[in-house]
Every structure is written in C-alpha cells, then in structure tokens.
C-alpha cells in the first residue's frame, strides 16, 4: 500500500519534498514594498458556503516534533493562524496561553527576518509585525472582517505572495535541519520503496480525518510513541522504516485522496484510485453513489456496456488497469486503515454490475423493478440514523460491493428488524432494505431467489411468508381495516417461529372466509391451499437468519405480485405508495 501511495503522489505531481505541504489559507495581510500595512484580504471565494480559502501548493511545513523539540516556542513560517501572525488571541484565553501565542508571534517575526537574507521583501513586513501600532490595525481589520483567530493567514507584499516565491526554499531546508535530527542514524530497508535508507524518526500527520474520529492537527499513519509498540531495541519509527522523502510522499498522496477522491461512509472514509487514470463517467465506484435514481439506472446499463466492451477487446486501454481502494478513519490521533483492496479494473466493473443485479427487487406495487438504491441508502436501511452505523460494518459492506463478497450478517439482522417494524406499523416497504435481504440470500448461494415472486422456491420458510401475506389480505377482504390485524398481532412471532402461529391463523381464516361471497372465498381458498401444499406437512419451527430473510422476502414479493394482479377493490389492501427508496 505504501509503495502505491508513493507512486500515486509522483504520478499526480504532488508536493512530496519534506518540509513542504499544500495548505488552504483564508486570509492575507497586505503590505506595500516598504512594509506599510494596507489591509486584510479574504482569499478563495468569500461568498461561498464554508469557504476554505485559497490553496497554496507549496507552503513551508514543520512536523510536530520540529515544532516542539528544544526549549523555545516555535511557529510555522509564512503561513500560520491569525492569532499567531497578528498576536491576536481570542477573548477569554487563559494568561498562560496568551503568553504562548505571544512567543509564537515573536518566533514568526524572527523567521521573516532570518529569511529576508534570501527574500528581502520580508524584512519590512517583519518590522511592521513587530510594531504594536501596526498590530492594533491588523487586529481591528481581522475583527472587522469577522476572521477567526484559528483561521490560517499569510502575507502579501507589493501584490505578490512570498509563499509562492521559491527564493526561500533552500534556506528553509537548511533551517529545518537545525531544529531536530530528522533521521535515526541507522540504515534500513524502506517499507515504501525497498531502498536502503536512513529511516525518518517521526512521520508527518495525515489531514482530512477530523470528521471520522481524527484530530484537527492531523493523525499519524505510522507512529511508535509507546514502548508496547516497539520491539527488537528499535526506537520510534525505526519499527516501521520509511525514509523522510517516502513519508512525505505517502502523506501527500493520502491528503490528496481524502480531499478529492473520498466519500464519508458513517464513521469512516473510503478513497480509491486507479493505476491509469479513468474518466469520471467510467468510474464504477461513482456509479454506486449516483445522485438521482434515473442516473442509477443509466449507471447500471453503463456497467454492463463497459464490461462487454472490455471482454470483447473494444477497450484494450482498460484491460490491464487496476483499482486500489482504502477505508480509513481516525482514532486517538492515529489513522486507522480498516480495509485495503486492489484488483483488476475488469473485475471491479463485473462486481459492481453484480451488485446492481443482486439488489434488483420488484417494486412494492409490483409494477417493474425498483431503482437500485444508492450505497448510503442501503446502509441507512439498517438503522434509525446513520450515526448508529458501526465503522467495521460499513467497511464490510463496502468490501462486499467491490469484491462480490457476502453481505455482513449483522446488517441483514438489523435490516430484518427494521422491516418487521415497518410491516407491523403499516409503513411503505423500503426497497433498499428488501434489496439487501435478497442480495444476502443470493450471495449465500440461494439460486432460487428472484427479483419477483417465485412460486416454485423450495424453502418452506419462503412460502410461510407468502401465506402470512395471503392471510392478511383475506382478513382485509372480509373485515376491512380493523386496526390491529393479524399482521400487527402475529407477524413478529410468525417470522421467527411459524409453526406456533400459522396453525392458529388457518383456523382464524375460516371465520374470514365465511364473511366473503362464494366466488371470492373460493379464490382465497385455492390460493391458500396451493401455498400450504408447497410448505409441506408442517411449517418449520424456529427459523435461522437465512430462513427469516426468506420469510420476509416471501411476504414482500407475494404482496407485490397481488398488487400487480389485483382485479377489484375487494382484493385491494391499503398501501402507502410514497417514495421510501
């Protein structure tokens, strides 16, 4: 994985040089060539919602050990927070923290003075930032623009940004070497490149995980800060030997992937890329998250067409391509890789196409197939709120989609529980939920499960579900809406232990049949007798998860078939038809 991340960083021409990193900056202090303060400039798109500011590709960057080693308080160079650059702590800041911010501000000014030997325009700016009267103007300007003390800010001099100038780069690299010893002094094999290198003592932190358990200051992918993580007398990151250059490269790759090519799935993020670039409209993983239902149908067709094109040799450019997929989250300052997948592009397209096929399910009203659900809709169908999803379960379902693996049993059990609640509460059936149940059965090897009703399915549990649906229709045809009918009273028990319930419902059905006219009574008698014949001598006792899934699917598909073939109001069951995909 590390090797592929380093290759990605180089192929995308990312900044991989140690001591540099791209940064989003929201503000700039504007100075003329003589150092006179001109005002505070907003960067990026100030009118945009959640404006991150302007991205500068190659900003000076210090690691946490570089910032904290030694006895002096340090700051970053050219780009830091408003409170550091302008000595502007927010109201209510404790006195000790105020002193720390003041020390960082003085260090920031000192760096400008030192770097002015190679970038002369920084000297007058340093003089202005050391002037209390100018600082007061700057602080007033920041307050007037409603800047936050923690926003990032840089300087502009005579219309240009020094951070974009390369004149200070060599000075900066020399300066960094004075802060702390970067290497370990030993020679080891780099885990990322396979070359003999001096391992970096510490590695730079990964950003972009703060919304999935990571820390705002970043999370470490490789770190050994406790004795229990170390072995064989090795210290710090010698335990996972990677050169400083390779560490900077994999950090740049992960930051770029998390920023531009990832999506949040509950408590984790998934990122993916390809060995050779793939057009956005031919990216199979994007098809899983199409924005509109009509697009998802098109995506399913595109998956089939693209797969045929690869198989027939019409797309030789894709035959040798590979995909890489990473599931990652944060935990206590660490970046946790929860899953890693790689394989051929053709295999990925085939698996995504299989995902669509496995999730195909008849519409709740029986008229055609329901649109394949978005991946997040499938996850949402298993819980009350997405925040209730466990990251391991999300990672497992994502792997299932990409590798055609089994559906996690935990999610199926949750989906069944939610389906029972909807049925008992007389809510519209959720297509994603029943698609998940069907996909689970298909991937468990049940070749008799179809998108539509299969009257010849060999499982008695499936026909028990069908029978429950017919008993419910019979009661409605005989008595109308009675509130708490047999579904509300018996469905939960019947779906787990049908042998204890269906006999009682059979006796109750005689009362309902006597309420009907002879023709309709004969219709129901024939239908129920046919289903009983498929169940056999006796309904099954306690049902396992697979059988409970078949029971629920049989119930759903029987109702859908009845609604599609209904001939009169007497057979019509009240159905909530609002969208619940």
User: How does DSSP assign 446-494, residue by residue?
Assistant: -TT--SS--TT-S-HHHHHHHHHHHHHHHHHHHH---SS-HHHHHHHHH
Residue 527 lies in a domain: yes
176, 192, 218 - which closes a domain: 176
Q: How many CA atoms lie within 13 A of 518 on its CB side?
A: 0
Query: Average pLDDT in the 395-403 region?
Result: 92
Q: Is residue 262 part of a domain?
A: no
Report the domain count for the chain. Answer: 3
* Average pLDDT estimate for 356-366: 93
Using pLDDT thresholds of 50, 70 and 90, give the confidence band for residue 226: confident
Q: How far is the C-alpha of 396 from the C-alpha of 156, rounded, in Å? A: 48
Q: What percent of the chain shows pLDDT beyond 90?
A: 63
In a domain, 359, yes or no: yes
155 with 278, same domain: the answer is no
pLDDT of residue 569: 33
Contact 323, 277 (CB under 8 A): no
Whether 391 maps to a domain, the answer reads: yes
Residues 6 or more apart in contact with residue 231 via CB below 8 angstroms: 239
Give the dihedral sign, CA 78/181/17/331. negative
Q: What is the DSSP letter of 334?
A: E
Share of the chain above pLDDT 70, in %: 94
417 and 290 Cβ atoms separated by less than 8 Å: no
Domain match, 137 and 40 both: yes
pLDDT exceeds cutoff 80 at 296 = no
pLDDT the model gives residue 577: 37
495 and 435 both lie in a single domain: no
Whether 275 and 420 share a structural domain: yes
**pLDDT exceeds cutoff 90 at 40:** yes
Buried b (16+ CB within 10 A) or exposed e, 442-471: beeebeebbbebbeebebbbbbbbbbbbbb
Contacts of 155 (CB under 8 A, 6+ apart): 28, 29, 30, 31, 78, 85, 125, 161, 162, 163
Question: Looking at the structure, do residues 510 and 478 belong to the same domain, yes or no?
Answer: yes
What is the reported pLDDT for 55? 93
Residue 528 shares a structural domain with residue 557: yes
- Is 60 in the same domain as 33? yes
Q: What is the DSSP letter of 282?
A: G
**Across 123-127, 182-186, 210-214, 360-364, least confident range:** 182-186
The better pLDDT of the pair 392, 571 is held by: 392
CB atoms within 10 A of CB 110: 16
Residues 6+ apart with CB under 8 A from 483: none
Structural domain contains residue 227: no
pLDDT of residue 475: 92
Angle (CA) 114 117 123, round 5°: 70
Q: Distance of CA 450 to CAs 416, 423, 453, 544, 572, Å?
A: 18, 21, 7, 20, 24
Residues 26, 143 share a domain:
yes
Q: What is the average pLDDT score of the chain?
A: 89
Q: Cα(251)–Cα(134) distance, rounded to whole angstroms?
A: 38
Whether residues 276 and 425 share a domain: the answer is yes
Give the mean pLDDT of 487-502: 93
3-state secondary structure of 273: strand
Q: Are residues 326 and 414 in the same domain?
A: yes
User: Measured on CA atoms in the order 480, 483, 485, 491, is the torsion positive or negative?
Assistant: positive
pLDDT exceeds 90 at position 565? no
Model confidence at 290, pLDDT cuts 50, 70, 90, reads low
Domain interval for residue 158:
19-176
Q: In DSSP terms, which residues pair with 21 in a beta bridge? A: 59
Query: Is residue 380 domain-shared with residue 438, that is, in the same domain?
Result: yes
- Distance, in Å, from the CA atom of 552 to the CA atom of 103, rounded to the nearest integer, reads 67
- The answer to whether the CB of 138 falls within 8 A of the CB of 86 is yes
Same domain, 285 and 354: yes
Q: Is 205 a domain residue?
A: no
Bridge-based pairing state of the strands 152-157 and 27-31: parallel
More confident call, 223 vs 185:
223
Query: In this model, does residue 250 exceed pLDDT 50?
Result: yes
Distance CA 186, CA 559 (A): 71
Read off the pLDDT of residues 529-558 as tens digits, 9 standing for 90 and up: 999 999 988 899 999 999 999 999 999 999
Q: How far apart are CA 88 and CA 137, in angstroms?
A: 11
Cβ(501)–Cβ(494) under 8 Å?
Answer: yes
Name the nearest CA neighbour of 245 among 286, 203, 206: 203
Q: What is the spatial distance between Cα 208 and Cα 577, in angstroms, rounded to a whole number?
A: 41
134 vs 507: CA distance, rounded Å: 91
Quick check: 305 pLDDT over 80?
Answer: yes
> What's the whole-number mean pLDDT along residues 169-176?
94
Tokens 């298909």 map to which residue?
A: 442
DSSP 182-229: -B-SS-EE-TTT--EE-BBSS-PPBPS-GGGT--TT-BBSS---SGGG
Closest Cα partner for 344 from 318, 362, 370, 366?
318
pLDDT for 279 equals: 86
End-of-domain residue from the set 124, 148, 176:
176
| Dist CA 543 CA 471 (whole Å) | 20
Q: Which domain-ending residue is among 141, 158, 176?
A: 176
Q: Is the pLDDT of residue 77 over 70?
A: yes
Q: Is residue 352 part of a domain?
A: yes
Q: Average pLDDT for residues 183-197, to the nearest whole number?
A: 84
Least reliable range by pLDDT among 118-127, 167-176, 451-460, 481-490: 481-490
The number of residues making up the chain comes to 581
Q: Residue 210 falls within a domain, yes or no?
A: no
């Amino acid at each position: 994985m590390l090797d592929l991340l380093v290759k990605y960083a180089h192929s995308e021409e990312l900044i991989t040089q140690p001591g540099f990193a791209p940064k989003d900056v929201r503000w700039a202090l504007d100075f003329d060539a003589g150092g006179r303060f001109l005002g505070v400039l907003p960067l990026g798109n100030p009118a945009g919602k959640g404006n991150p500011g302007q991205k500068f590709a190659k900003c000076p960057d210090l690691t946490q050990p570089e910032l904290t080693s030694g006895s002096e308080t340090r700051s970053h160079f050219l780009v830091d927070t408003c409170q550091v650059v302008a000595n502007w702590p927010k109201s209510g800041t404790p006195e000790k923290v105020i002193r720390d911010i003041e020390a960082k501000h003085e260090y920031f000014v000192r760096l400008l003075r030192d770097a002015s030997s190679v970038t002369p325009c920084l000297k007058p700016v340093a003089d202005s930032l050391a002037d209390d009267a100018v600082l007061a103007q700057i602080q007033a300007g920041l307050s007037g623009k409603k800047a936050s003390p923690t926003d990032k800010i840089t300087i502009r001099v005579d219309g240009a940004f020094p951070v974009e100038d390369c004149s200070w780069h060599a000075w900066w690299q020399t300066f960094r070497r004075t802060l702390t010893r970067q290497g370990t002094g030993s020679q080891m094999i780099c885990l990322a490149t396979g070359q003999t290198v001096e391992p970096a003592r510490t590695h730079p932190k990964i950003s972009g995980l703060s919304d999935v358990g990571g820390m705002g200051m970043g999370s470490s992918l490789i770190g050994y800060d406790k004795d229990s993580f170390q072995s064989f007398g090795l210290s710090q990151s010698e335990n996972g030997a990677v050169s400083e250059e390779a560490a900077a490269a994999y950090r740049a790759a992960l930051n770029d992937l998390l920023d531009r090519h990832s999506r949040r799935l509950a408590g984790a993020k998934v990122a993916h890329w390809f060995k050779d670039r793939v057009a956005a409209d031919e990216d199979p993983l994007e098809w899983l998250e199409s924005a509109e239902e009509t697009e998802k149908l098109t995506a399913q067709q595109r998956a089939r067409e693209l797969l045929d094109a690869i198989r027939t040799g019409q797309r030789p450019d894709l035959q040798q391509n590979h995909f890489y997929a990473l599931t990652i989250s944060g935990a206590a300052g660490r970046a946790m890789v929860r899953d890693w997948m790689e394989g051929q592009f053709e295999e990925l397209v085939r698996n995504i196409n299989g995902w669509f096929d496995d999730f195909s399910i008849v519409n709740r009203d029986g008229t055609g197939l329901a649109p394949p659900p978005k991946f997040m809709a499938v996850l949402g169908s298993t819980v009350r709120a997405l925040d209730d999803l466990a990251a391991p379960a999300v990672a497992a379902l994502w792997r299932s989609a990409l590798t055609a693996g089994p559906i996690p049993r935990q999610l199926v059990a949750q989906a069944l529980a939610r389906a029972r609640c909807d049925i008992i509460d007389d809510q519209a059936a959720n297509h994603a939920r029943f698609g998940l149940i069907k996909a689970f059965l298909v991937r468990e090897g049940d070749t008799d499960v179809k998108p539509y009703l299969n009257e010849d399915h060999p499982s008695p549990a499936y026909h028990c579900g069908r029978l429950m649906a017919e008993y419910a229709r019979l009661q409605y045809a005989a008595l109308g809406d009675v509130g708490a009918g047999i579904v509300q009273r018996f469905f939960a028990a019947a779906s787990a232990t049908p042998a204890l319930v269906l006999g009682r419902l059979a006796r109750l059905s005689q009362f309902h049949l006597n309420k009907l006219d002879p023709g309709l009574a004969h219709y129901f008698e024939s239908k129920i007798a046919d289903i009983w014949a498929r169940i056999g001598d006796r309904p099954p006792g306690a049902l396992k998860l697979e059988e409970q899934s078949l029971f629920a699917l049989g119930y759903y598909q029987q109702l859908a078939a009845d609604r599609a073939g209904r001939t009169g109001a007497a057979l019509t069951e009240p159905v909530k038809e609002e969208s619940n995909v």
